[in-house]
Amino acid sequence: MSGASQSRRRILTVIALLIVLVGAFIILRPRLWVKNKTAEVTVDGRLSDGVKLFHGSDDRLLFYLRAEPTRAYYFSAHTGVLECDAREFASLKILVFSPHVQPQCARAAPTAEIEAQSLQYKNSGHTIILSWQPAPR
């Protein structure tokens, strides 16, 4: 009896742990971004590596331009490019976490063109092209 009771307890513990992990994933997934180290930015035709790019779920992008360290830029197909206060996000070395599913930010560019590995938009009279390499497979 004792062996069967311990076995049931282990099974229930594993099930409870799986439920907690799935719940955490559902809550964190839209709030988490992973760094892409291959990003480059072109501003008015001048190429620079002065960008930190992070990929989120559902093809969302979050990036920081070195020229504007107090700002973060958020892109999704639904919102376009939004300009945010960098304090809206908790930035770690290779991850960024947001307390909100969709950041509360001002619109930086009403239209943006997204392709497989690039994003192009205009902001304050400047043409900005953000590009990156695909993840290795």
**Residue at 7 is within a domain:** no
**Single-letter code of the amino acid located at 6:** Q
Average pLDDT over the chain, rounded to an integer: 84
Cα-based angle 108, 36, 45 (whole degrees, multiple of 5):
55
Q: Tell me which residue range forms the domain holding 42.
A: 33-131
Nearest to 132 by CA among 85, 71, 63: 63
Residue 1 has pLDDT above 60, yes or no: no
Residue 125 domain flag: yes
The total number of structural domains that make up the chain: 1
127 domain-assigned: yes
Q: Are 117 and 40 in contact (CB under 8 A)?
A: no
Q: Is residue 89 part of a domain?
A: yes
- When pLDDT is averaged across residues 85-112 and rounded to a whole number, the result is 80
| Dihedral angle of Cα 29, 95, 119, 59, to the nearest 10 degrees | -10
Q: Structure tokens of 70?
A: 């107090």
d(CA 30, CA 136): 23
- Phi, psi (rounded to 5 degrees) for 58: 55, 40
Which amino acid is located at 60 in the chain? Answer: R
Q: Is residue 22 part of a domain?
A: no
Q: What is the dihedral of CA 22, 24, 26, 28, to 10 degrees?
A: -150
Whether 28 maps to a domain, the answer reads no
Q: What share of the chain in percent tops pLDDT 70?
A: 90
* pLDDT tens digits, one per residue of 20-63: 888 776 666 666 778 888 899 998 889 988 899 998 888 889 89
The answer as to whether 100 is a domain residue is yes
136 lies in some domain: no
Q: Please say whether the beta carbons of 129 and 36 come within 8 A.
A: no
| Residue bearing the bigger pLDDT, 134 or 67 | 67
Strands laid side by side in the 46-48 sheet: 46-48, 40-43, 126-131, 118-123, 112-115
pTM for the full model? 0.74
Q: What percent of the chain has pLDDT over 90?
A: 15
